[in-house]
């Protein structure tokens, strides 16, 4: 039984749709269906691409009538995908730009091997960024998200990528996790890991190298330097790192046990 995939697609500028069309044959070989959520702005600015999506039954699309916070958008997308699947069917929660990068670069063979080789007993699993993959990312991305992984090590005795880019788990497990999702910002992704933190499998992969230079057709070193010097990029990551730290602290009993 092929797995399914669920990924939001926010593409008002039309950068991702060409990649989606290129990798569609691969997606059809790897997954039985791909679930997408498309916000209003993308629908308004990319009418031709939306018409194309509507004529591709392989894609099961949630066309949003209003802009939603990330937590609501992801949650209802994931719930729809898991609710349509068989109980033990594997659901991949991922991002289109990451898949497009993996399938169109030298990482293609390993990505396909990792997806096709995944068995039910290997899940739930976090495909986390390998040291080589992290080395391609801006340093501020790494250092800030590492704060969350380090806090998890201190609190739970296990360092995990709570700001994950790609996880896979059985549909019935995902449906059990979803009622516990409380946050509506990007920090909500950590809440998918907290309930499974003690037994989730982990595999470090190079195909989660930084995808932005490929997607934006920019020189990797130049773009990396720009992002490292950008306060906006640092604030953007702190906006989810700080609440993630709070979530982990609460899960570890921090507020109840603290003595001030």
Token look-up 């939603």 returns 68
Split into its structural domains, the chain has a count of: 1
Q: CB–CB of 35/60 below 8 Å?
A: yes
Q: What is the reported pLDDT for 257? A: 45
Question: Tell me: the pLDDT tens digits for 112-122?
Answer: 999 999 998 99
C-alpha R_g of the chain: 18
Tell me: pLDDT of 150 over 80: yes
Confidence of residue 252 (pLDDT cuts 50, 70, 90): confident
Structure tokens at 256: 């109840």
| Inter-CA distances, 128 with 20, 163, 175, Å | 23, 9, 22
Q: CB–CB of 185/71 below 8 Å?
A: yes
Question: Tell me: the pLDDT tens digits for 53-66?
Answer: 999 999 999 999 99
CATH code for the domain in which residue 81 is found: 3.90.550
Structure tokens at 189: 């992704």
Q: Containing domain of residue 160, as a range?
A: 4-257
Mean pLDDT, the chain, rounded, equals: 95
Q: What is the reported pLDDT for 61? A: 97
What's the rounded mean pLDDT across residues 90-96?
Answer: 98
């Amino acid at each position: 039984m092929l797995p399914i995939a669920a990924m939001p697609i926010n593409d008002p500028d039309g950068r991702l749709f060409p990649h989606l069309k290129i990798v569609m044959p691969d997606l059809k070989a790897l997954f039985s269906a791909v679930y997408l959520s498309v916000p209003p702005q993308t629908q308004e600015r990319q009418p031709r691409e939306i018409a194309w999506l509507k004529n591709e039954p392989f894609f099961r699309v949630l066309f949003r009538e209003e802009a939603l916070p990330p937590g609501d958008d992801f949650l209802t997308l994931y719930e729809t995908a898991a609710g349509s699947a068989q109980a033990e069917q594997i659901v991949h929660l991922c991002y289109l730009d990451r898949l497009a990068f993996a399938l169109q670069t030298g990482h293609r063979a390993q990505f396909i091997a990792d997806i096709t080789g995944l068995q039910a007993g290997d899940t739930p699993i976090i495909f986390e960024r390998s040291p080589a993959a992290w080395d391609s990312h801006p340093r501020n991305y790494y250092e800030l998200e590492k704060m969350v992984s380090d806090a998890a090590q201190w609190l739970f005795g296990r360092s995990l990528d709570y700001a994950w880019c790609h996880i896979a788990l059985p549909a019935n497990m995902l449906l059990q996790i979803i009622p516990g999702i409380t946050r509506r910002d990007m920090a909500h992704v950590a809440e998918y890991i907290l309930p499974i933190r003690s037994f989730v499998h982990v595999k470090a992969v190079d195909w989660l190298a930084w995808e932005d230079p490929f997607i934006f057709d920019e020189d990797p070193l130049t773009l990396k330097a720009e992002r490292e010097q950008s306060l906006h990029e640092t604030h953007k990551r702190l906006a989810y790192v700080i609440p993630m730290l709070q979530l982990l602290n609460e899960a570890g009993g921090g507020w109840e046990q603290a003595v001030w």
